[in-house]
Amino acid sequence: MFTSQTSSFQDSIDVEERDDFDSEEIAGYSQKIQLNCYYTIYLYQGTRSEATGDNVTWNQRRADSTTSHDDFSLTLIDSSLPTEAEPELRTYISRRLSKGALLGGMGNIAMVELSIPEQAVGCYCCLLEQERSPEQPDADGNGYVICFMGGSEKGLNLFRLELDKYVQGLHSSLQTPELQNLETEVRPYLSRWYEESVMHIHRVVQLVQGNISFLLHAALSHTPVEVINSDEKTKADVSRFIKAASLQGLSQQDTTAASLCKAITEDTHSDLVIDCATSPPTITNPVSNRFCDDWIQAFLNAAERCNPFLLRQILENFKLKAIQDMNSLKRYVRQAEMSHYALFRCCQFLQGCGNGDVLLQNARAEHSDLPEACSIITVLEEFLREQAQAQA
């Protein structure tokens, strides 16, 4: 049992050696390089909608950068792509729009071939529709198509939620007539998409280095994390990392997260405090376990390569392994209610997985209304305490 368990765990860590990313993608990140990333924004106008003065101005000013179809027109507003590559992207986006493949507010990710050094690159595109006029509720809407390019399709898919949220942050800036704030607001915002939506996990690993296990444990155990003596960006990065590493929302029972938060509030455990006044930061109330410690090197290796996509994949594998172990424990607990041998196997599992404290904490919260299961969990908690005292 321990052999297969160890093998499965090692497979989940060694993402660099597996097919979570294609070998070509991994080869591209094998050395420390700066990834090229691009953005483009287009004005989208349905031909059945009434053209506003602003849209007419854009179309006239960019007549040579407008692609027209029977149902819509697409006009370039701004782009960081090379001059020869932008028309190729516009052709691709027009083809997607004509097929109805871009829905308002929902990002779409695919690989596109462009005249850039990478040749083929992952492309996230999203149609931000403007509110429709009450006088023309059935007319085709106007809006903007936002495109972010960099990395691979598989890599960008790992950050789909972050990219969706980042694009939505443009809504208020796109209400200015003729986008007079293009140079002051819109362009700087678009140019930061990679740093803001993709690199936050990398920045956190670089910040805490080998102490990343304390953050992983805090995320799994729902321990509050406080960052002091730092700027707001660092605080936001750590908060986003904890949220990305947490299993909240992935439990089979919606009440588990709330039960855990209540249990931790009543518990004597203190918040994890990261003091950025020193370099590296000072960690107060650090708690970890063997399971979290075993992932440290994988995170550090990916961070050294400056590969945020690999970092995110490792983080997802970390969560997947934790979920698998939680499901295994729940199965053993059910069996242990009827079999002493199953209880013995449960003790062996907890001893081998290295994550027993977190698993039992989640199991107790999820089985709080099942007396027999709680009795089994109490026995297992006593077993772990005795093992810890024996090792000490």
**Residue pair 101/72 in contact by the 8 Å Cβ criterion:** no
Residue 294 CA to residue 297 CA, distance in Å, equals 7
Residue 29 lies in a domain: no
Same domain, 175 and 234: no
Same domain, 153 and 83: yes
**Residue pair 309/317 in contact by the 8 Å Cβ criterion:** no
- Domain of 129 in residue numbering reads as 38-47+70-182
Same domain, 150 and 269: no
Same domain, 158 and 215: no
Q: ∠ CA 33-188-306 to the nearest 5 degrees?
A: 15
Residue 234 lies in a domain: yes
Residue 16 lies in a domain: no
Same domain, 123 and 263: no
Q: pLDDT 10s per residue in the chain (392 long)?
A: 444 455 555 655 655 444 445 444 444 444 555 688 999 999 998 765 455 555 555 455 555 567 776 678 899 999 999 999 999 999 999 999 888 878 777 899 999 999 998 889 999 999 998 766 555 554 456 899 999 999 999 999 999 999 999 999 998 888 877 788 999 999 999 999 999 999 999 999 999 999 999 999 999 999 999 999 999 999 999 999 999 999 876 655 444 444 544 444 445 468 999 999 999 999 999 999 999 999 999 999 999 998 999 999 999 999 999 999 999 999 988 888 888 888 888 999 998 999 999 999 998 888 888 888 888 889 888 888 888 777 76
Residue 17 lies in a domain: no
Same domain, 143 and 220: no
Same domain, 175 and 210: no
Residue 293 CA to residue 24 CA, distance in Å, equals 29
Domain count for the chain, please give it.
2
Burial label for 300, CB within 10 Å (0-12, 13-18, 19+), is middle
Residue 20 lies in a domain: no
Residue 326 lies in a domain: yes
Residue 342 lies in a domain: yes
Same domain, 326 and 386: yes
